[in-house]
Amino acid sequence: MKLLQHQYWGEGWITVSTTSGHVSALHPDSGEIRWEAETDTPALTLRGTSTPSVTGGGVLVGTATGKLKVFILDGGIPAWEAVIGKSKGTTELEKLIDADSQPIVANQVAYAVAYNGNLAAVDVLSGRILWQREYSSYRNLTYDNDMLYLTDAKGNIVAVDAKNGIEKWTQSEFYNRRLTQPVVYKDTLVVGDYEGYFHFVDKKTGELVSRFKLDDIDYSAVRWFISWFTSEDRTAYTAPVVRGDLLYIQTRDGEVTALRLP
Protein backbone atom coordinates (compact mmCIF):
# COMPACT_ATOMS: atom_id res chain seq x y z
CA MET A 1 0.00 0.00 0.00
CA LYS A 2 1.27 3.46 -0.92
CA LEU A 3 0.36 5.98 1.74
CA LEU A 4 0.09 9.56 0.51
CA GLN A 5 2.53 11.70 2.39
CA HIS A 6 2.79 15.12 0.72
CA GLN A 7 1.21 16.96 -2.16
CA TYR A 8 2.07 20.16 -3.99
CA TRP A 9 0.30 22.11 -6.74
CA GLY A 10 2.59 23.52 -9.39
CA GLU A 11 2.38 24.62 -13.03
CA GLY A 12 -1.14 23.23 -13.46
CA TRP A 13 -0.45 19.78 -12.01
CA ILE A 14 -0.64 18.16 -8.59
CA THR A 15 2.53 16.37 -7.54
CA VAL A 16 2.52 13.94 -4.63
CA SER A 17 5.00 11.79 -2.75
CA THR A 18 4.30 8.65 -0.74
CA THR A 19 5.83 6.96 2.27
CA SER A 20 7.10 4.21 -0.03
CA GLY A 21 9.25 6.67 -2.00
CA HIS A 22 7.00 7.12 -5.05
CA VAL A 23 6.55 10.50 -6.73
CA SER A 24 3.56 11.11 -9.02
CA ALA A 25 2.01 13.88 -11.11
CA LEU A 26 -1.79 13.98 -11.33
CA HIS A 27 -4.26 15.94 -13.43
CA PRO A 28 -5.96 18.48 -11.14
CA ASP A 29 -9.46 17.92 -12.59
CA SER A 30 -9.67 14.17 -13.17
CA GLY A 31 -7.04 12.87 -10.77
CA GLU A 32 -5.55 10.88 -13.63
CA ILE A 33 -1.95 9.89 -12.96
CA ARG A 34 0.27 11.49 -15.58
CA TRP A 35 3.37 9.61 -14.47
CA GLU A 36 4.87 7.89 -11.48
CA ALA A 37 8.52 7.51 -10.48
CA GLU A 38 10.17 5.57 -7.68
CA THR A 39 13.03 6.64 -5.43
CA ASP A 40 15.23 4.38 -3.33
CA THR A 41 13.96 3.88 0.22
CA PRO A 42 16.11 2.20 2.89
CA ALA A 43 14.60 -0.17 5.45
CA LEU A 44 14.65 2.59 8.09
CA THR A 45 13.77 6.19 7.22
CA LEU A 46 12.32 9.24 8.93
CA ARG A 47 9.51 9.97 6.47
CA GLY A 48 10.61 8.78 3.04
CA THR A 49 10.55 11.47 0.36
CA SER A 50 10.00 15.17 0.90
CA THR A 51 7.13 17.33 -0.28
CA PRO A 52 7.78 17.94 -4.01
CA SER A 53 8.47 21.38 -5.43
CA VAL A 54 7.70 22.32 -9.04
CA THR A 55 9.67 24.90 -10.97
CA GLY A 56 10.70 25.48 -14.58
CA GLY A 57 9.14 22.24 -15.81
CA GLY A 58 10.87 20.10 -13.19
CA VAL A 59 9.72 18.31 -10.02
CA LEU A 60 12.25 18.49 -7.18
CA VAL A 61 12.15 16.04 -4.27
CA GLY A 62 14.46 15.11 -1.44
CA THR A 63 14.87 11.37 -0.98
CA ALA A 64 15.40 9.03 1.96
CA THR A 65 18.89 8.31 0.64
CA GLY A 66 20.03 11.91 1.10
CA LYS A 67 19.65 13.06 -2.50
CA LEU A 68 17.94 15.96 -4.22
CA LYS A 69 16.37 14.61 -7.41
CA VAL A 70 14.67 16.31 -10.34
CA PHE A 71 12.09 14.70 -12.63
CA ILE A 72 10.86 16.31 -15.85
CA LEU A 73 7.27 17.41 -15.24
CA ASP A 74 6.27 16.52 -18.80
CA GLY A 75 7.00 12.81 -18.42
CA GLY A 76 8.64 11.95 -15.12
CA ILE A 77 12.06 11.30 -16.67
CA PRO A 78 14.93 11.79 -14.18
CA ALA A 79 17.00 14.87 -15.06
CA TRP A 80 19.70 14.94 -12.38
CA GLU A 81 20.41 14.16 -8.76
CA ALA A 82 22.71 15.76 -6.21
CA VAL A 83 23.99 14.04 -3.07
CA ILE A 84 23.46 16.23 0.01
CA GLY A 85 23.78 13.55 2.67
CA LYS A 86 26.18 10.61 2.97
CA SER A 87 25.80 7.73 5.41
CA LYS A 88 28.56 7.91 8.04
CA GLY A 89 27.50 5.62 10.89
CA THR A 90 27.40 1.89 11.50
CA THR A 91 23.93 1.42 13.02
CA GLU A 92 20.66 1.87 11.15
CA LEU A 93 19.86 4.97 13.21
CA GLU A 94 23.23 6.53 12.47
CA LYS A 95 22.73 5.85 8.76
CA LEU A 96 19.55 7.95 8.54
CA ILE A 97 20.19 10.67 5.96
CA ASP A 98 16.68 11.61 4.83
CA ALA A 99 16.40 14.83 2.84
CA ASP A 100 12.92 15.50 4.22
CA SER A 101 12.72 19.26 3.81
CA GLN A 102 10.77 20.54 0.82
CA PRO A 103 13.25 22.00 -1.69
CA ILE A 104 13.14 25.78 -1.97
CA VAL A 105 13.90 27.42 -5.33
CA ALA A 106 14.99 31.04 -5.67
CA ASN A 107 16.89 32.67 -8.54
CA GLN A 108 17.44 29.31 -10.29
CA VAL A 109 19.02 27.82 -7.18
CA ALA A 110 17.47 24.97 -5.17
CA TYR A 111 18.11 24.72 -1.44
CA ALA A 112 17.69 21.48 0.52
CA VAL A 113 18.90 19.99 3.79
CA ALA A 114 19.35 16.40 4.97
CA TYR A 115 19.23 14.74 8.36
CA ASN A 116 22.79 13.81 9.37
CA GLY A 117 23.85 15.51 6.16
CA ASN A 118 24.28 18.96 4.67
CA LEU A 119 22.49 22.14 3.76
CA ALA A 120 23.16 22.58 0.05
CA ALA A 121 22.60 25.08 -2.74
CA VAL A 122 22.20 23.39 -6.12
CA ASP A 123 21.98 24.88 -9.61
CA VAL A 124 18.50 23.99 -10.88
CA LEU A 125 19.53 23.57 -14.53
CA SER A 126 22.63 21.44 -14.12
CA GLY A 127 22.40 19.86 -10.68
CA ARG A 128 25.83 21.26 -9.78
CA ILE A 129 26.32 21.88 -6.07
CA LEU A 130 27.20 25.55 -5.58
CA TRP A 131 27.96 25.25 -1.88
CA GLN A 132 27.15 22.98 1.04
CA ARG A 133 27.50 23.25 4.80
CA GLU A 134 27.19 20.60 7.48
CA TYR A 135 23.78 20.88 9.13
CA SER A 136 21.31 18.22 10.22
CA SER A 137 17.58 18.90 9.96
CA TYR A 138 14.29 17.18 9.16
CA ARG A 139 12.22 20.39 9.08
CA ASN A 140 11.44 22.59 6.09
CA LEU A 141 13.66 25.55 5.36
CA THR A 142 12.49 29.15 5.25
CA TYR A 143 13.79 31.63 2.66
CA ASP A 144 13.49 35.38 3.06
CA ASN A 145 15.48 38.18 1.38
CA ASP A 146 18.50 36.04 0.44
CA MET A 147 18.59 34.41 3.86
CA LEU A 148 17.89 30.80 4.79
CA TYR A 149 16.51 29.94 8.23
CA LEU A 150 16.42 26.44 9.66
CA THR A 151 15.89 24.56 12.90
CA ASP A 152 18.40 21.76 13.23
CA ALA A 153 17.96 18.35 14.81
CA LYS A 154 19.35 19.58 18.15
CA GLY A 155 16.95 22.51 18.46
CA ASN A 156 19.17 25.34 17.25
CA ILE A 157 17.79 28.08 15.02
CA VAL A 158 20.29 29.05 12.35
CA ALA A 159 20.46 31.90 9.82
CA VAL A 160 22.56 31.28 6.71
CA ASP A 161 23.36 33.60 3.80
CA ALA A 162 21.73 31.94 0.77
CA LYS A 163 24.31 33.35 -1.63
CA ASN A 164 27.37 31.72 -0.09
CA GLY A 165 26.31 29.52 2.82
CA ILE A 166 27.97 31.68 5.48
CA GLU A 167 26.31 31.36 8.87
CA LYS A 168 25.09 34.72 10.21
CA TRP A 169 23.92 33.66 13.65
CA THR A 170 22.78 30.69 15.76
CA GLN A 171 20.21 30.73 18.54
CA SER A 172 20.98 27.76 20.82
CA GLU A 173 18.64 28.48 23.73
CA PHE A 174 16.08 25.84 22.69
CA TYR A 175 18.19 22.70 22.89
CA ASN A 176 16.22 19.48 22.35
CA ARG A 177 12.83 21.22 22.32
CA ARG A 178 11.82 19.64 18.98
CA LEU A 179 11.23 22.93 17.23
CA THR A 180 8.96 23.45 14.24
CA GLN A 181 10.10 25.04 11.01
CA PRO A 182 10.84 28.74 11.58
CA VAL A 183 8.53 31.20 9.83
CA VAL A 184 9.00 34.92 9.24
CA TYR A 185 6.48 37.11 11.06
CA LYS A 186 7.11 40.85 10.76
CA ASP A 187 10.69 41.36 12.05
CA THR A 188 10.88 38.03 13.86
CA LEU A 189 11.16 34.30 13.31
CA VAL A 190 8.57 32.17 15.06
CA VAL A 191 9.04 28.55 16.14
CA GLY A 192 6.86 26.26 18.22
CA ASP A 193 8.10 23.54 20.57
CA TYR A 194 6.92 20.32 22.17
CA GLU A 195 5.71 22.11 25.32
CA GLY A 196 3.34 24.37 23.40
CA TYR A 197 5.47 27.51 23.56
CA PHE A 198 5.91 29.72 20.52
CA HIS A 199 9.19 31.62 20.54
CA PHE A 200 9.84 34.89 18.70
CA VAL A 201 13.45 35.74 17.82
CA ASP A 202 14.87 38.74 16.00
CA LYS A 203 15.51 37.58 12.44
CA LYS A 204 18.56 39.85 12.11
CA THR A 205 20.36 38.87 15.32
CA GLY A 206 18.72 35.66 16.56
CA GLU A 207 18.06 37.20 19.98
CA LEU A 208 14.94 36.03 21.81
CA VAL A 209 12.29 38.77 21.71
CA SER A 210 9.34 37.08 23.41
CA ARG A 211 7.48 33.82 23.85
CA PHE A 212 3.83 32.89 23.92
CA LYS A 213 1.83 29.96 25.28
CA LEU A 214 -1.81 29.21 24.67
CA ASP A 215 -2.60 28.61 28.34
CA ASP A 216 -1.15 29.32 31.74
CA ILE A 217 -1.02 25.69 32.88
CA ASP A 218 2.50 24.38 32.94
CA TYR A 219 3.43 21.08 31.27
CA SER A 220 3.97 19.36 34.60
CA ALA A 221 2.30 16.52 36.51
CA VAL A 222 -1.01 18.41 36.36
CA ARG A 223 -0.78 18.82 32.60
CA TRP A 224 0.21 15.18 32.14
CA PHE A 225 -2.72 14.07 34.32
CA ILE A 226 -5.22 16.10 32.26
CA SER A 227 -3.79 14.86 28.96
CA TRP A 228 -3.96 11.24 30.12
CA PHE A 229 -7.74 11.37 30.52
CA THR A 230 -8.74 13.84 27.84
CA SER A 231 -6.19 13.13 25.08
CA GLU A 232 -5.63 16.89 25.08
CA ASP A 233 -2.25 17.84 23.65
CA ARG A 234 -1.50 21.49 22.99
CA THR A 235 2.05 20.96 21.83
CA ALA A 236 3.04 22.68 18.59
CA TYR A 237 1.98 20.37 15.78
CA THR A 238 3.26 22.18 12.72
CA ALA A 239 4.93 25.39 11.68
CA PRO A 240 2.85 28.56 12.17
CA VAL A 241 1.27 30.12 9.07
CA VAL A 242 1.48 33.84 8.34
CA ARG A 243 -1.20 35.67 6.38
CA GLY A 244 -1.01 39.44 6.43
CA ASP A 245 -0.60 40.54 10.03
CA LEU A 246 -2.14 37.37 11.44
CA LEU A 247 -0.23 34.36 12.74
CA TYR A 248 -2.11 31.05 12.70
CA ILE A 249 -0.91 28.27 15.00
CA GLN A 250 -2.16 24.71 15.32
CA THR A 251 -1.63 22.43 18.30
CA ARG A 252 -1.62 18.65 18.27
CA ASP A 253 -5.14 18.49 19.77
CA GLY A 254 -6.45 20.07 16.55
CA GLU A 255 -7.06 23.58 17.88
CA VAL A 256 -6.25 26.45 15.50
CA THR A 257 -5.62 29.92 16.91
CA ALA A 258 -5.15 33.24 15.10
CA LEU A 259 -2.87 35.79 16.74
CA ARG A 260 -2.22 39.41 15.94
CA LEU A 261 0.86 40.68 17.70
CA PRO A 262 2.34 44.21 17.70
Given a cut of 50, whether residue 1 has pLDDT beyond it is: no
> pLDDT confidence of 228, banded at 50, 70, 90?
very low
Helix/strand/coil percentages in the chain, nearest 5 = 5, 45, 55
CA 97 to each of CA 4, 68, 178, 202: distance values in angstroms, whole numbers, following the listed order: 21, 12, 18, 30
**Residue 107 CB: number of other CB atoms within 10 A?**
8
Whole-prediction pTM = 0.84
pLDDT of residue 194: 87
More confident: 201 or 229: 201
CA distance 114 to 57: 24
Q: Which domains does the chain have, with CATH numbers?
A: 1-100 (2.40.10.480), 172-262 (2.40.128.630)
Q: What is the mean pLDDT of residues 106-114?
A: 94
**Residue 64 CB: number of other CB atoms within 10 A?**
27
Range of lowest pLDDT (32-46, 73-87, 207-221)? 207-221
> pLDDT confidence of 95, banded at 50, 70, 90?
confident
Given a cut of 50, whether residue 203 has pLDDT beyond it is: yes
Mean pLDDT of the chain: 84
pLDDT of residue 179: 93
